[in-house]
Chains A and B, each alone.
Chain A
Amino acid sequence: MRRTPATRLGTALAGAALLLAGCADDGEPRSDPTWSPTAVPESPSTSPADAATKPALPDAATKATKAGAEAFIQYYWDLINYAEVTGDVKPLRRTSGSSCDGCNDGIRAIRKHYRNGGHIMGGEYRVTIKSTEHAKVEDNAAVVIGAQITVSSAEQSVINGDGTTRMVKPGSSEWTLAVLWNGDHWRVDIMRLTR
């Protein structure tokens, strides 16, 4: 399960609520024997070690629906995580449209970095999908879904081929994507950084 800013807020508020609920008016801890915490701290399922494992396409991403497109977008960013820490960009290539410059720029950069002897550690991306929309496609029955997403990233070490290291700070970025259902699978046709 991925942790998004929204879920973090929920976790924080839930934690606060639990603290309030767990205190009696006199400030003493609640002694009700039937009470037990129901919320447990979440931890991201994808650790840096997990990112080095080639992600499997989830079943949800094999359907030509909005939910399928959302699952695919999450999967695509899992592939980016995987490519960044391994240099293996083949799965990304297979799921990117040939005219998707935003995809190909990133793929080329990773490939070039690893070819030059560099590697990357950390920096896992987490995706929050803000909105999705069915596109109108002229003279074609193709299913295209656009999405606005927010991507947050952890701190990252970019180790260059000459041994120097560049630290990339955690951050958040916003993207617009358009994904096309290509008969039996999704592919990314547009990937544009908007903020």
Chain B
Amino acid sequence: MIRSLSALMLLLGAFLSQTGQARADDGAGTDSGGFWVSEERHNNPSSSVSGQADHVTTEGTSISADAVEVPSCVGGAHAVTLAQLDLAYCMPAEPSEAKPAPITPAQVRRAFARLPLPASTLVIQPPDGLTLVNFDTNFYTTSTASITRRVRLLGRPVTIEATPSEYDWQFDDGDSLATDEPGAPYPDLTVTHNYLRKGTYAPRLDTVYSGRFRVGNGAWQQIPGTVTIAGAPQRLRAIEAQPKLVAPYGP
């Protein structure tokens, strides 16, 4: 029995000396408890001395250890309180929670103005760059389709749809005409011009685009303002017609 008790005492003594060693190490300085622990003690020396830091402030997270008061959190952060652990802090909002900044029509307007929209193709009849003075020269374009472009604004996908809404016909003789229709091929003469004097002209067609946009699959919204794309001038010679008798009546 005496031997049994001795063995028990030895075992308990070994155990207690082990735990006693651990306690002694607690206050032994920074070079105990492992690399991770000693680094944390180095960074927050107060926590290793007092055991309970009065206030620890971390990046975006404030901790109050002396009283569990629900903190006032800003920027969408959520207050987290752990009463038994005497811990309260602000949990930053998840990116999915954060409301994205609204995309304004003005921002889209600037993106719209930078879009590489095409100029309209100008067709002139009669063809081959030759027409007559005092003659209904016909102008039209086949460029009537809407153009869709996708851009990213503030990191979000934005679809911009540009539609020709007005055509500015520049006849290069001091006259111009604005229409909302694209003209039509002969014989449906809807946009015509009479050159009153013979000469060489450089008519062109400017296209005025209106636009609308939507963010992702959201609702379409009108883009304020318009964008005008100047067309390439075409060479057109206006000549005078002269009556001339030909055989079998002529010489």
Q: Give the docked Cα–Cα distance between A110 and B40 (Å).
A: 12
Q: Would you give the shortest CB distance from B26 to chain A, in whole angstroms? A: 6
Contact of B87 among A146, A158, A166 (CB under 8 A): A146
Q: A80-B36, A135-B80 are in contact. Are A15 and B11 (CB under 8 A)?
A: yes
Q: CA separation between A62 and B50, bound complex, in Å?
A: 35
Q: Does A70 contact B (CB under 8 A)?
A: no
Contact A84-B36, Cβ < 8 Å, known A170-B21, A171-B26, A194-B52: yes
Q: Are B4 and A20 in contact (CB under 8 A)?
A: yes
- Collect the chain A residues with CB atoms within 8 Å of residue B59's CB: 99, 101
Q: Do A153 and B12 touch (CB < 8 A)?
A: no
The chain B residue sitting closest to A19, CB to CB, is B7
- Cβ-based interface call for A137 (8 A): yes
Q: Does B58 contact A (CB under 8 A)?
A: yes
**In the complex, chain A residues whose CB is within 8 Å of the CB of B39:** 105-106, 109
Are A105 and B63 in touch, CB under 8 angstroms? no
Size bracket, chain A contacts? 35 or more
> Which residues of B lie under 8 Å from residue A178 when comparing CB positions?
80, 82, 87, 89
Cβ contacts A103-124/B at 8 Å (1 or 0 each): 0011001100100000010010
Residues of B close to A170: CB separation below 8 A: 21-22, 25, 32-33
| Residues of chain B within 8 A of A153, CB atoms compared | 33-34, 37
Chain A residues near B19 (CB-CB < 8 A): 5
Cβ-defined contact, A169 with B1, below 8 A: no
* Least distance between A25 CB and chain B CB atoms (Å): 7
Query: Are A12 and B78 neighbours in the complex by a CB distance under 8 Å?
Result: no
Would you call B43 and A125 a contact (CB within 8 A)?
A: no
Question: In the docked arrangement, what's the CA distance between A156 and B60, Å?
Answer: 33
Cβ B78 vs Cβ A16 within 8 A: no
- Which of A33-41, A42-50, A185-193 contacts its partner? A185-193
Name the distance in Å between A14's Cβ and chain B's nearest Cβ.
Answer: 10
Complex interface: chain B residues within 8 A of A113 (CB): 35
Contacts of B104 in A (CB 8 A): none
Complex partner residue of A193 from B32, B37, B82, B85, CB under 8 angstroms = B37
A176 CB to nearest chain B CB (Å): 6
The answer to whether B15 and A8 touch across the interface, beta carbons within 8 angstroms, is: yes
Does any Cβ of B come within 8 Å of A57's Cβ?
no
Q: Given A23-B1, A27-B2, A193-B44, verify A110-B35 contact (CB < 8 Å).
A: yes
CB-defined A-B contacts under 8 Å, sample of 8: A23-B1, A27-B4, A99-B58, A101-B58, A102-B58, A131-B84, A136-B82, A193-B37
Q: A16-B12, A170-B32 are in contact. List 12 more A-B contacts (CB 8 A).
A: A5-B19, A84-B36, A101-B58, A105-B43, A135-B82, A137-B78, A168-B31, A168-B32, A169-B25, A171-B25, A172-B22, A172-B33
Instruction: List 6 A-B pairs, minimum CB-CB distance, nearest first.
Output: A171-B33, A171-B32, A153-B34, A171-B25, A101-B58, A146-B82
The interface of chain A, by Cβ under 8 A from chain B, is 5, 8-9, 12, 15-16, 19-20, 23, 25, 27, 80, 84, 98-102, 105-106, 109-110, 113, 120, 123, 125, 131, 133, 135-140, 142, 144, 146-148, 151-153, 156, 158, 166-174, 176, 178, 180, 189-190, 192-195
